[in-house]
């Protein structure tokens, strides 16, 4: 399957419920056998109910599989469409991922993300826009913050959707028997960063998200 054949509409199914629950124990067993250890810190900062946006550092193709450990319920991942080839893509879709063409994003993907948040789902977005290994953190763009603001604007009840920064470390590298530490940072809320307009608010949230991720990566 090539990137061009991957559907980027609301018609494709990201999670088949019975198959998700069937894969769940297999997924966890495989990770426990493949990696040396997986330590999750700051679980108290993770909201137990949606809507919520999880914003992790993106270091490896392993990230979606490892971060799926943060919840028994499906986490919905907006993932670069080029990750959906072959068996990897088959598993990604059934663990909750849906594709977005990072170079030429379509409105349908963002509409889908908004609909998931409206349905009080847990949505995971990688704010760097791709895998970054040559620096601690790529400078973030305000797309994630704008998505949250747009969602809050269309939800009937007043709500501030938590944005949860997540740092992830692989030691030494993401490979067989390596050790992983996931650090969940305190959530950010748009109400704490309101400016004169949405554009300025989105930038303020993005700056705070970047600072929090860097703090988590430095731990």
Total domains present in the chain: 1
Domain that holds residue 94: 12-218
Report the pLDDT value the prediction gives residue 90, as an integer from 0 to 100: 79
Which two tokens mark 50? 């949606």
CATH number at residue 210: 3.40.1130.10
Q: Is residue 7 part of a domain?
A: no
Cα-based angle 132, 35, 216 (whole degrees, multiple of 5): 45
Q: Is residue 6 part of a domain?
A: no
Q: Is residue 214 part of a domain?
A: yes
Per-10-residue mean pLDDT of the chain, 219 residues long, equals 38 60 88 97 92 96 91 84 76 76 70 89 91 93 94 89 97 94 98 96 98 95
Which among 188, 218, 153, 198 is positioned nearest to 54, based on CA atoms? 188
Report the pLDDT value the prediction gives residue 30, as an integer from 0 to 100: 94
pTM summary value? 0.86
Which among 51, 33, 67, 21 is positioned nearest to 162, based on CA atoms? 51
Report the pLDDT value the prediction gives residue 23, as an integer from 0 to 100: 82
Report the pLDDT value the prediction gives residue 3, as an integer from 0 to 100: 37
Q: Is residue 193 part of a domain?
A: yes
Q: Is residue 43 part of a domain?
A: yes
Q: Is residue 4 part of a domain?
A: no
Q: Is residue 5 part of a domain?
A: no
Report the pLDDT value the prediction gives residue 9, as an integer from 0 to 100: 42
Q: Is residue 3 part of a domain?
A: no
For the chain, the helix, strand and coil percentages under 3-state DSSP, each to the nearest 5: 40, 20, 40
């Amino acid at each position: 399957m090539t990137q061009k054949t991957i559907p980027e509409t609301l018609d494709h199914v990201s999670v088949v419920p019975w198959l998700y629950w069937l894969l769940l124990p297999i997924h966890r067993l495989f990770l426990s056998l493949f990696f040396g250890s997986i330590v999750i810190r700051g679980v108290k900062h993770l909201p137990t109910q949606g809507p919520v946006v999880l914003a992790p550092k993106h270091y490896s193709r392993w990230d979606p599989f490892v971060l799926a450990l943060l919840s028994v319920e499906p986490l919905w991942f907006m993932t670069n469409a080029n990750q959906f080839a072959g068996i990897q893509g088959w598993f990604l879709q059934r663990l909750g991922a849906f594709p977005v063409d990072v170079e030429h994003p379509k409105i349908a993907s963002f509409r889908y993300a908004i609909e998931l948040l409206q349905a009080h789902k847990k949505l995971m977005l990688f704010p760097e826009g791709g895998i970054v290994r040559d620096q601690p953190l790529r400078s973030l763009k305000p797309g994630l913050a704008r998505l949250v603001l747009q969602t809050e604007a269309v939800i009937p009840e007043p709500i501030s959707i938590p944005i949860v920064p997540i740092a992830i470390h692989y030691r030494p590298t993401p490979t067989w028997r390596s050790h992983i530490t996931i650090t969940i940072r305190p959530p950010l809320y748009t109400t704490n960063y309101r400016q004169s307009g949405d554009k300025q608010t989105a930038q303020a949230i993005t700056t705070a998200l970047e600072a929090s991720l860097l703090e988590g990566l430095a731990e």
